Amino acid sequence: MQRRHFLKLAAAASLSGCEMRLPWQAPPLTVLRPGMAAGHALRDGLPAPDPAREREVEVAILGSGVAGLFAGWRLAQQGYRNFCVLAGPEPQGNAAGSALGGIPCPRGAHYLPLPSLESAHVRELLAAFGILRGNPSSARPEFDENVLVHAPEERLFINGAWQEGLLPQHGLEAEALAQIERFTARMQALREARGADGRRAFVMPLALSSQAPAWRALANESFANWLTREGFTAEALRWYADYCCRDDYGAGIEQVSAWAGIHYFASRGGHAANGEDGAVLTWPDGLAPLTRQMSATIGAERLLPGMALRVTPRGAGVEVLCLNGAEAFRLRAKRVVLAMPLHVAAHVLDLGEFGFDKARDLPQSASWLVSNFLLDGFPREASEEHPLAWDNLRYGGDTLGWVVATHQWIRAARPAQTVFSAYHALPPSTGRLWLQNAAQDELLELAGRDLRATYGRDFERRIQQVELTLRGHAMAIPAPGFLQRPGIAALRAADQHILFAHADLSGLSVFEEAAWWGEQAAHKILT
């Protein structure tokens, strides 16, 4: 080695010395609890300062999650200008993104299934952003390959080895394999199932599903019950179904209704001209880029920081008392869209006026932990037969695996650093309290459980930074009975000065559903 080169190296090493960590020092940790302080302040009814200023606007959208932004996007796209979006305590809500060490990564939602024909609103959105190409209502549109998940897509660690795909196969007994095959065929058939009203039984958005009582009755029992009744008893199959429900609904087969469980498998029949069935769309920071693009169409001038404290009907309009930091202001609007979770909406407005009974109608919510680990290099794989995939899961436990934020990068070599994002849905009954009280060590233990089990020390020593996002009230659980809540039906139907838009109106939380209620609100405003 040349001396000059060596000196340069030495200089570089000493320069970066401040970032070096001794083995016993824990990596820098950030714990985020988006919306918690604001939500609890609202619940406790803290007094607000007098408003210092006032702003008049035709439509005020309160909340900048997927539902609020979609409503705003649709208005702007239709040339409607006189509106604003109040961001709320967490801009982008559950679809927010982050970046660690300059690497974008998700803090919540991370993928979108290929939209089915009925998800026309999502297809239109994707077409507007150039992600879906050609005719948005064709059965097999083309998608931007940059965001179609790259191969290898998923792998499962089961019976001591990795296998391709998440559906358990490796090392299973014939009976379990047969049941899994039967289950897959059954769900495939249920995609085409129709009710007496001619509609498909399980549709995304769920509001377009058949209303026939025969199908809706499935919403009254648990998915676990239904599986047993149908003879789906194999442990591997039940674990898989449970995993899918936990991954999307934040609760397992014992807690979610059979209707919701089946909906997961039977509602997403989208195809791509240039991707395999069952492919998903994903960005390095999850779905955050979609919220950013919607915000861009809405325009920065219409996005206001701050949260709503109180919504009061006043004459032919609505007054909204808002708080931004320490400063209060008032919005006067002809119409408002409450694009916030219902448990928050219940504190800014008396929902009883709409026939909404909190005790009866408010869904139980699931709690989530999203853990981003910035890693120096990629931990060593025990075998290269099934290399690191976008989504990596371990069979058997109640964890949800991890996704790789740099997976979609177009690179010949792996980047020097990456982010692994691990997901955990906590047990519905105890999860929220646990999140609130757990010590940092306990949070970290859960956050890294799968990764330590897979990579051991090699994972540990590569960690440069950790960001934990704790979501106590992350999403509504589609428990038995969730389709029969009169209060929810009332909020969906509201069409006067106050409209509602949030995934809570579906009772299950996915991008398409949230966007659907944004679409409905925009539609009411535009017609």
Partner 1 sequence: MPHRLLILSVFIVASCGLAYELVAAALASYLLGDSVLQFSSIIGTYLFAMGVGSHLSKYIKDEDLLARFIDIELLVGLIGGVSATLLFVIFAWVAAPFRVVLYALVFALGVLVGMEIPLVMRVLNARKAEFAEIVSRVLTFDYLGALVVSLLFPIVLAPQLGLARTAFLFGIANAGVALVAAQAFRAELRQATALRLRASIVLLALIAGFVGAEAVTRWSERGIYGDQIVHAQTTPYQRLIVTQWKDDLRLYINGNLQFSSRDEHRYHEALVHPALSALAGARRVLVLGGGDGLAVRELLKYPGLEAITLVDLDPAMTQLFSTSATLTALNQHSLTNPRVQVINADAGQWLETAPGSYDAIIIDLPDPSSYGLGKLYSEPFYRLVSRHLSDTGLLVVQSTSPYFAPHAFWCVVTTLDEAGFHTFPYQAHVPSFGVWGFVLADRHGRYQPPKAYSVPLRWLDAEQTASMFRFPADMPRPEVEPNRLNNQALVRYFEEDWRRVIR
Ligand X SMILES: Cc1cc2nc3c(=O)[nH]c(=O)nc-3n(C[C@H](O)[C@H](O)[C@H](O)COP(=O)(O)OP(=O)(O)OC[C@H]3O[C@@H](n4cnc5c(N)ncnc54)[C@H](O)[C@@H]3O)c2cc1C
CA 90-92-95 angle, to 5 degrees, is 115
Residue 313 binds to partner 1 (criterion: CB under 8 A): no
Q: Is the CB of 2 or the CB of 25 nearer to partner 1?
A: 2
Residue 148 binds to partner 1 (criterion: CB under 8 A): yes
Q: Is the CB of 10 or the CB of 185 nearer to partner 1?
A: 10
CB-based contacts of 460, cutoff 8 Å, min separation 6: 448, 452
Long-range contact list for 168-171, CB < 8 A, 24+ apart?
Answer: 168/236, 168/237, 168/239, 168/240, 168/395
Binding partner selected for residue 68 from partner 1, ligand X, none, CB under the kind-specific 5 to 8 Å limit = ligand X
Residue 14 binds to partner 1 (criterion: CB under 8 A): no
Residue 80 binds to partner 1 (criterion: CB under 8 A): no
Choices 145-153, 180-188, 421-429, 462-470; region in contact with partner 1 by CB under 8 A:
145-153
Residue 414 binds to partner 1 (criterion: CB under 8 A): yes
Tell the residue number behind the tokens 């179904």, with chain if given.
241
Binding partner selected for residue 471 from partner 1, ligand X, none, CB under the kind-specific 5 to 8 Å limit = ligand X
| Options 20, 22, 174, 413; binder of partner 1; rule CB under 8 A | 413
Choices 81-89, 268-276, 311-319, 448-456; region in contact with partner 1 by CB under 8 A:
268-276
Q: How far is the CB of 13 from ligand X (least distance, A)?
A: 39
Q: Is the CB of 432 or the CB of 471 nearer to ligand X?
A: 471
Q: How far is the CB of 113 from ligand X (least distance, A)?
A: 8
What is the DSSP code string of 290-348? Answer: HHHHHHHHH-GGGEE--EEEEEEEETTEEEEEEEETTEEEEEEEEEEEE-S-HHHHHHH
Q: Is the CB of 227 or the CB of 309 nearer to ligand X?
A: 309
Q: Is the CB of 358 or the CB of 380 nearer to partner 1?
A: 380
Q: How far is the CB of 271 from ligand X (least distance, A)?
A: 18
Binding partner selected for residue 108 from partner 1, ligand X, none, CB under the kind-specific 5 to 8 Å limit = ligand X
Residue 144 binds to partner 1 (criterion: CB under 8 A): yes
Q: How far is the CB of 38 from ligand X (least distance, A)?
A: 6
Q: Is the CB of 234 or the CB of 272 nearer to ligand X?
A: 272
Q: How far is the CB of 114 from partner 1 (least distance, A)?
A: 11
Choices 23-31, 233-241, 267-275, 497-505; region in contact with partner 1 by CB under 8 A:
267-275
Q: Is the CB of 98 or the CB of 179 nearer to ligand X?
A: 98
| Options 58, 216, 355, 409; binder of partner 1; rule CB under 8 A | 409
Q: Is the CB of 27 or the CB of 278 nearer to partner 1?
A: 278
Choices 1-9, 170-178, 462-470, 515-523; region in contact with partner 1 by CB under 8 A:
1-9
Q: Which SS3 state, helix, strand or coil, does residue 120 take?
A: helix
Q: How far is the CB of 415 from partner 1 (least distance, A)?
A: 8
**Footprint on this chain of ligand X (rule: CB under 6 A):** 35, 62-68, 86-91, 93-95, 108-112, 307-308, 339-341, 344, 348, 368, 370, 423, 471, 474-475, 502-503, 509-511, 514
Choices 61-69, 149-157, 395-403, 490-498; region in contact with partner 1 by CB under 8 A:
149-157
Binding partner selected for residue 80 from ligand X, partner 1, none, CB under the kind-specific 5 to 8 Å limit = none
How far apart, in Å, are the Cα atoms of 321 and each of 42, 51, 307, 313, 432?
12, 7, 9, 11, 29
Residue 78 binds to partner 1 (criterion: CB under 8 A): no
Nearest to 283 by CA among 98, 96, 111, 107: 111
Query: What does DSSP say about strands 83-86 and 303-304: parallel, antiparallel, or unpaired?
Result: parallel
Q: Is the CB of 232 or the CB of 500 nearer to ligand X?
A: 500
CA 490-496-502 angle, to 5 degrees, is 55
Q: How far is 13 from 33, CA to CA, in rounded Å?
A: 36
Binding partner selected for residue 409 from ligand X, partner 1, none, CB under the kind-specific 5 to 8 Å limit = partner 1
Q: Which SS3 state, helix, strand or coil, does residue 154 take?
A: strand
Q: How far is the CB of 421 from partner 1 (least distance, A)?
A: 20
Q: How far is 9 from 275, CA to CA, in rounded Å?
A: 45
How far apart, in Å, are the Cα atoms of 402 and each of 27, 424, 454, 471, 513?
19, 9, 11, 17, 24
Q: Residue 151 carries which DSSP code?
A: S
Nearest to 266 by CA among 287, 244, 233: 244
Where are the extended beta strands (E) located within 221-293?
280-281
Q: How far is 206 from 118, CA to CA, in rounded Å?
A: 10
Q: How far is the CB of 247 from ligand X (least distance, A)?
A: 8
Binding partner selected for residue 264 from partner 1, ligand X, none, CB under the kind-specific 5 to 8 Å limit = none
Beta bridge partners of 30: 467
How far apart, in Å, are the Cα atoms of 206 and each of 100, 108, 121, 209?
36, 22, 13, 5
Q: Is the CB of 9 or the CB of 433 nearer to partner 1?
A: 9
Tell the residue number behind the tokens 């119409």, with chain if given.
335
Provide the mask over 380-399, with x wherever binding to partner 1 is found by CB under 8 A and - wherever it is not.
-------x------------
Q: How far is 309 from 286, CA to CA, in rounded Å?
A: 30
CB-based contacts of 250, cutoff 8 Å, min separation 6: 365, 366, 367, 368, 425, 428, 474, 475, 477, 509
Query: What does DSSP say about strands 365-376 and 112-113: parallel, antiparallel, or unpaired?
Result: unpaired
Amino acid at 15: L
Q: How far is the CB of 267 from partner 1 (least distance, A)?
A: 21
Q: Is the CB of 55 or the CB of 150 nearer to partner 1?
A: 150
Return residues touching partner 1 (CB under 8 A): 1, 6, 9, 144-146, 148-153, 272, 274-276, 279, 387, 409-415
